[in-house]
Structure 1
Amino acid sequence: MESVLVMAQVSKTVMPTMVSNGQVFDQKLVVFATDSFSDQAVLSSSLHQLWAVKYSPTMRLDVSYSPKGALSTFPFPGSTHHLEGLGVKLNERRADILISRGLGLTKLYNLFNDPDVVGDEDVELMRALHVQVDEAVVAAYGWSDVELGHGFHTYRQVRRWTVSPAARVELMDRLLEENLRRAKEEQKLSVPAGRKGRGGQKAAAEVDGQHAQEGLF
């Protein structure tokens, strides 16, 4: 691959970015072996972010992203042309903003998640793009009936631009149900251990010792 997705293992943004593969990656980076912009859109969505916060350890208020807990269990939706296009758009528009303003990813998302930042065209564009990404990811699952209610909401002591608390609970419940459904399908097919396909075949409930009926919150 000429490019791959990477993400700082410890951060409060939980946000991947596409970079050149012609370099040695630091051990503090999580490297996703994909050059798919559809994957970038999904991994940049509020759905994956909420899942990662739930199934990764934390360091103070930062998330220490767990590939085993947050990625291998995440039930990816199917790729769509719309998701691919939004992934490209998010990557390109964000790169333009970072270059033009001399910002790093963390500083940009600090502005993005700051409710006092109003009227900044670049920040408003980023918020609008992430709303579009979330809507496209939800649609890819067939869950467009969920009212996302984007705005500034607090979750685990962190205030950020994301979906509403009610949407968060509903989406997390549906993601867990989908995770468990796929795990059961895998058991029926008797897929040997070590050959788990992407899509969260290992039940997330197993990761934290909970059962689905116990609820997430």
Structure 2
Amino acid sequence: MTELNDGALFDAEFGIGHRGSTVPERSGVALSFRGRPSSFSFFGVLQSSVHIAWGRWRSSSKGISGKKYSTAKALDTFPMPDLEDSELKLAAEAYSSLRDECLNEIGIGVTDLFNMVHDPSRMEPLIERFRRVLINLDVAVCKAYGWSDLELFHDYYTQEDLSESDSIRFSISSEAKDQIIKRLSILNRHRYQDEVAAGLNFSKSIGSEKRKPRVRRKTETSSKQPSFDFDGASANDGTYRKAAEQRASYQAGPTHAIVEYMKAHPGWHAKSDIVSAIGITDGQWNAAIAELIADNRIERQGEKRGARYRVVIEGAKE
């Protein structure tokens, strides 16, 4: 069985290729599995329809070819299930083993394999087995979250954000995807709230006359869960939250950090004050503030060194 101790690759379809074996034909984002005690489970979750639904929802469009995967938006914010779940481990190992068998026996790459999986006319026994393993993996991931009630309805569906000539996918129903996104969003929010209560998220202020020097944030062993804003809690919040293990496996993104800081400190602020207070780099600031302004979550007045920023309060800006 392939060892997951060196790394993996996301392609444009969010498929992962082991380093050392056939790599997807599309460009991707390399991810490391080093130091992860349950690497097969981690690998399996990322290959599941659960993560694909979240990843497509959180990632930006890439023309007619689909979505551009963003680790900051799609992976850092993704709340993992219990990676020690025995059924999940077995399903992930079975997926990895059969995928390698398909690649070696048919003599193709990962992209070609999934093209066959998504083609309803391909009924070869090995491809049919692989589809069943995909279904088993999705079911195991959902059970690891405690979602035994969720009906997935695997079938061939049209993916509306793909080109018409390449839009059919063997996947779960749109209703199941909507439920998954809702439940993951609730879980993300609860984990963030728990971290705030435990003092794991920053709450710095700019009270002193002398500004502290900016320092580069170091990677922490226990990182933080980025969160989103939601309209309200579901009656099933406790049910969705209970099953997934509380693992702080993600870093709080600079976008979220900027918004939370400025919500806590109303009024106009210079870039230097914000960057110093929350400890992010200039590069992280530039990417995050451009996104926030485009999303109308932060407003700016002035230009260059005279620019000032404040959070947009709903209903206050015309």
Q: TM-score, normalised by structure 2?
A: 0.57
Aligned to 2:153: 149
The amino acid across from 1:108 in the alignment is L
| In the alignment, structure 1 residue 124 sits paired with structure 2 residue 125 | no
Aligned to 1:7: 9
Once the 2 structures are TM-superposed, how far is the Cα of residue 171 of structure 1 from its aligned partner? 1.1
Aligned length: 202
Aligned to 1:215: none
Q: Is the 8 A contact 1:45 1:134 kept in 2?
A: yes
Aligned to 2:196: 187
The amino acid across from 1:95 in the alignment is D
Q: Is the 8 A contact 1:57 1:63 kept in 2?
A: yes
Bigger Cα Rg: 2
Please identify, of 82-91 and 56-65, the stretch whose mean Cα deviation from structure 2 is larger: 56-65
Q: Structure 2 matches for 1:171-210, cutoff 5 A?
A: 171-193=180-202, 195=220, 197=222, 201-205=225-229
Answer 1 or 2: higher relative contact order, Cα 8 Å, separation at least 6: 1
* Two-structure CA RMSD over aligned residues (Å): 2.7
Once the 2 structures are TM-superposed, how far is the Cα of residue 5 of structure 1 from its aligned partner? 3.8
Once the 2 structures are TM-superposed, how far is the Cα of residue 192 of structure 1 from its aligned partner? 4.3
Aligned to 1:50: 53
Q: Is the 8 A contact 1:45 1:133 kept in 2?
A: yes
- CA–CA separation in structure 2 for the residues paired with 1:170 and 1:107: 30
Percent pairwise identity:
26
Q: Pick closer, same or farther for the CA change 1:182–1:210 going to 2, 3 Å.
A: farther
Q: Is the 8 A contact 1:17 1:40 kept in 2?
A: no
| In the alignment, structure 1 residue 66 sits paired with structure 2 residue 70 | yes
Once the 2 structures are TM-superposed, how far is the Cα of residue 204 of structure 1 from its aligned partner? 4.4
Once the 2 structures are TM-superposed, how far is the Cα of residue 90 of structure 1 from its aligned partner? 1.1
- CA–CA separation in structure 1 for the residues paired with 2:198 and 2:18: 34
Aligned to 2:205: none
Aligned to 1:23: none
- CA–CA separation in structure 2 for the residues paired with 1:114 and 1:204: 36
Which of 155, 158, 169 does residue 178 from structure 2 map onto?
169
Q: Is the 8 A contact 1:82 1:136 kept in 2?
A: yes
Aligned to 1:214: none
The amino acid across from 1:30 in the alignment is A
Which of 77, 81, 106 does residue 77 from structure 1 map onto?
81
Secondary structure, counterpart of 1:3 in structure 2: coil
* Higher-strand-fraction structure: 1
Please identify, of 179-188 and 80-89, the stretch whose mean Cα deviation from structure 2 is larger: 80-89
The amino acid across from 1:93 in the alignment is L
- CA–CA separation in structure 1 for the residues paired with 2:158 and 2:87: 29
Q: Is the 8 A contact 1:69 1:204 kept in 2?
A: no
Q: Pick closer, same or farther for the CA change 1:83–1:210 going to 2, 3 Å.
A: farther
Q: Structure 2 matches for 1:95-106, cutoff 5 A?
A: 95-106=100-111
Once the 2 structures are TM-superposed, how far is the Cα of residue 18 of structure 1 from its aligned partner? 3.3
Q: Pick closer, same or farther for the CA change 1:130–1:204 going to 2, 3 Å.
A: farther
Q: TM-score, normalised by structure 1?
A: 0.82
